[in-house]
Structures are given as structure tokens and as C-alpha cells.
């Protein structure tokens, strides 16, 4: 029974990530896109999938990856997330530099652009805070609150950014992935009380 449950969890997680990617790959809109633009779009999907994995790893919800080990994998996936965001923005820059400049300066007319820019800076901020934690000797409580706040901004803005875009991602699978990202983030925040000075840790 336990093995079946573990298999079911991993299968559900795999489906939650694979289905949106497969649906996007089958989109007829790809026929009119440049390869670089397509790669940039899929990098964005990978970034969203990484956002689903991150809270699950921190909370120790994935079979075979208890909280302590999960947090180590969390750091590695954080690197994947940063790389995916960089590739996403770099690909869009190659295809249309003026548009990317407008987004970064918050003067783009498209509503989803500002949300994406804020999410990007929040991702970079969270990664930088994690990388400099020991060097700057940040107190654990302050670091946890700061990292959690940046992660929350990343999740919120990334989800809004994705939902507002009408592109290659299929609508239903995109909405489900976004809902799962928010649900996972809320669950780990509540279970571990990440907003508290001394949050409770899972075994």
C-alpha cells in the first residue's frame, strides 16, 4: 500500500509537469514562431514546473526525499529555476530587444509583462539571498522570512504572468499547473509556519 501511494504521488507530479509541456509542444502556434522564441517559451514552462517542485521539496512531501534531503535538492532546483528564467528572458531578448527593455523598465503595454518582471527580480533576489546567507552572516530567522517573502512574490507574480498570457500553453493544463503551484506554496507555508520566528519543522 505504501509503495503504491509513493508511485501514485510521483506519477501525479510527473503528469502535472509533463501534460502542460506536451500540450504546449502540440500547439499550432509554434508553426509561426522562431526556434529561439520557442525555446524561451519552454524555458518559462520549466521555470513554472520548478516552482511546483520547490515547496514540495522544502516540506518533505515527496517520497524518498524527506525534509532534510529535500532541502538539498531544493537548492539544486533553485539553480535550475534561475537558469530557466535567464534563458526565458535571453531568448525573448534575442527575438525582440526593444520589447524586453520595455518590460524591464515597466513601460510595456501588455498587462502580463510587469508581473513577469517582478517575478524575475524576486527569483534573483531569493537566489542571491540564499547564495550570500553565510557570507553576510544573516540570522536564520531574518533569512527565512526574507527568502519566504521573495518566494511568495515569485509564486504570485509568476502565476498571474502565466495566466494572463495567451500563447502556446494550453489553457486548462496551464490553469491546473498554476493552481498546483499556489496550493503547494500555501500548504508548506501553513504546515511549517514559515512566517513565524521559529517555524515548526517536519521530520
Q: Does residue 125 form part of some domain?
A: yes
Locate 37 and state its grid cell. 522564441
| Distance between CA atoms of residues 82 and 120, nearest Å | 9
**What pTM was computed for the model?**
0.90
- Which residues have a Cβ under 8 Å from the Cβ of 149 and sit 6 or more positions away? none
pLDDT in tens, 127-183: 999 998 888 888 888 888 999 999 999 999 999 999 999 888 999 999 999 999 999
E strand segments, 18-89: none
Tell which wins on pLDDT, 163 or 194: 163
Q: Which domain holds residue 38?
A: 2-192
Q: Does residue 38 form part of some domain?
A: yes
- Which residues have a Cβ under 8 Å from the Cβ of 48 and sit 6 or more positions away? 20, 158, 162, 177, 178, 181
Sign of CA dihedral 20, 21, 23, 28: positive
Confidence of residue 196 (pLDDT cuts 50, 70, 90): low
| Distance between CA atoms of residues 165 and 171, nearest Å | 10
Q: Does residue 184 form part of some domain?
A: yes
Number of domains in the chain: 1
Q: Does residue 85 form part of some domain?
A: yes
Q: Does residue 41 form part of some domain?
A: yes
Q: Does residue 67 form part of some domain?
A: yes
Q: Does residue 202 form part of some domain?
A: no
Q: Does residue 203 form part of some domain?
A: no
| Distance between CA atoms of residues 58 and 183, nearest Å | 14
Locate 185 and state its grid cell. 506554496
Amino acid at each position: 500500500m505504501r509503495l503504491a501511494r509513493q508511485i501514485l504521488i510521483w506519477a501525479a507530479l510527473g503528469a502535472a509537469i509533463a501534460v502542460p509541456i506536451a500540450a504546449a509542444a502540440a500547439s499550432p502556434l509554434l508553426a509561426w514562431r522562431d526556434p529561439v522564441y520557442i525555446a524561451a517559451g519552454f524555458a518559462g514552462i520549466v521555470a513554472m514546473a520548478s516552482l511546483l517542485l520547490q515547496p514540495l521539496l522544502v516540506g518533505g512531501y515527496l517520497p524518498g526525499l524527506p525534509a532534510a534531503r529535500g532541502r538539498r535538492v531544493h537548492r539544486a532546483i533553485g539553480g535550475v529555476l534561475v537558469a530557466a528564467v535567464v534563458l526565458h528572458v535571453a531568448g525573448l531578448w534575442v527575438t525582440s530587444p526593444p520589447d524586453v527593455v520595455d518590460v524591464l523598465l515597466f513601460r510595456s503595454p501588455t498587462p502580463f509583462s510587469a508581473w513577469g518582471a517582478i517575478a524575475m527580480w524576486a527569483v534573483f533576489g531569493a537566489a542571491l539571498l540564499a547564495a550570500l546567507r553565510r557570507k553576510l552572516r544573516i540570522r536564520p530567522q531574518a533569512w527565512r522570512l526574507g527568502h519566504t517573502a521573495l518566494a511568495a512574490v515569485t509564486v504570485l507574480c509568476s502565476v498571474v504572468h502565466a495566466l494572463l498570457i495567451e500563447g502556446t500553453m494550453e489553457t486548462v493544463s496551464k490553469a491546473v499547473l498554476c493552481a498546483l503551484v499556489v496550493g503547494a506554496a500555501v500548504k508548506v507555508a501553513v504546515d511549517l509556519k514559515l512566517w513565524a520566528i521559529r517555524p515548526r519543522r517536519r521530520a
